[in-house]
Amino acid sequence: MLTDVEKMEVVTTESIYPHRYITHEPLEKIDWTLSDDTLTISGLLCNRATGELYGKQWSVWYSEEIPSSAGPWKLCGLPGLIVKAEDAEGIHCFTLYETKNEVRDINRKNNPNYQKLTRKKLMAFKKKIFGNPRYVKEPNYYVPKNADNVAETNVNGTTYYIGLNSHMLILQKSHVYQPLELK
């Protein structure tokens, strides 16, 4: 995922074997409610804020010591870097563990092999694949059984299916799909 601040756009790439997808969407403005609560995270003094994005309520901690309105995933728009974020259900949690001051170019090449989709279509597709009850017990259920470009391998006791042409992994054992976006 790449946030293009100049274009006010989020570009997301997703790999769902055997395809790769790309979406371009406007950067969503989150209506944050600021709190007086404070907490120190990774040595940074942080303030708390709450807000809703794509149907999920988020509680975040941001630090004005790092003057950036960025944050993990698509969370942004506060007067400091978001260093911790948790959804209200306690399913998803992002936490900053370390910072580095580094200057380097971001090289993102347009790949013609990526299929362009809207965010809503990609979300519907992910729900169809990952939300299917079969996915938990058989995560490769949607891959044709006669696919000659899939190999099975075992790494440290975990079985993976490997898409040989696309360099994508499919876990043999998966878990219940918990989407970050409900809307």
As a whole number of angstroms, the distance between CA 68 and CA 79 comes to: 7
pLDDT digits (tens, 9 = 90+) for 129-154: 888 988 887 777 777 766 555 555 56
Closest to 176 (Cα-Cα) out of 140, 141, 132: 132
Answer yes or no: are the C-beta atoms of 70 and 82 closer than 8 Å. yes
Calculate the alpha carbon distances from 154 to 13, 66, 142, 170, 171 in Å: 27, 42, 21, 12, 10
Task: Look at residue 174 in the predicted model and tell me its pLDDT.
Answer: 58
Of 142 and 172, the structure prediction assigns the larger pLDDT to 142
Q: Could you tell me the pLDDT band of residue 3, with boundaries at 50, 70 and 90?
A: confident
Task: Look at residue 88 in the predicted model and tell me its pLDDT.
Answer: 95
Task: Look at residue 164 in the predicted model and tell me its pLDDT.
Answer: 46
pLDDT digits (tens, 9 = 90+) for 66-121: 999 999 999 999 999 999 999 999 999 999 988 888 888 877 677 778 899 999 99
Answer yes or no: are the C-beta atoms of 64 and 47 closer than 8 Å. yes
As a whole number of angstroms, the distance between CA 78 and CA 68 comes to: 8
Of 28 and 166, the structure prediction assigns the larger pLDDT to 28
Model confidence at 124: pLDDT above 50: yes
Q: Enter the pTM of the model.
A: 0.78
Supply the mean pLDDT for the chain. 84
Answer yes or no: are the C-beta atoms of 60 and 79 closer than 8 Å. no
Number of Cβ within a 10 Å radius of residue 140: 20
Closest to 30 (Cα-Cα) out of 2, 63, 60, 68: 60
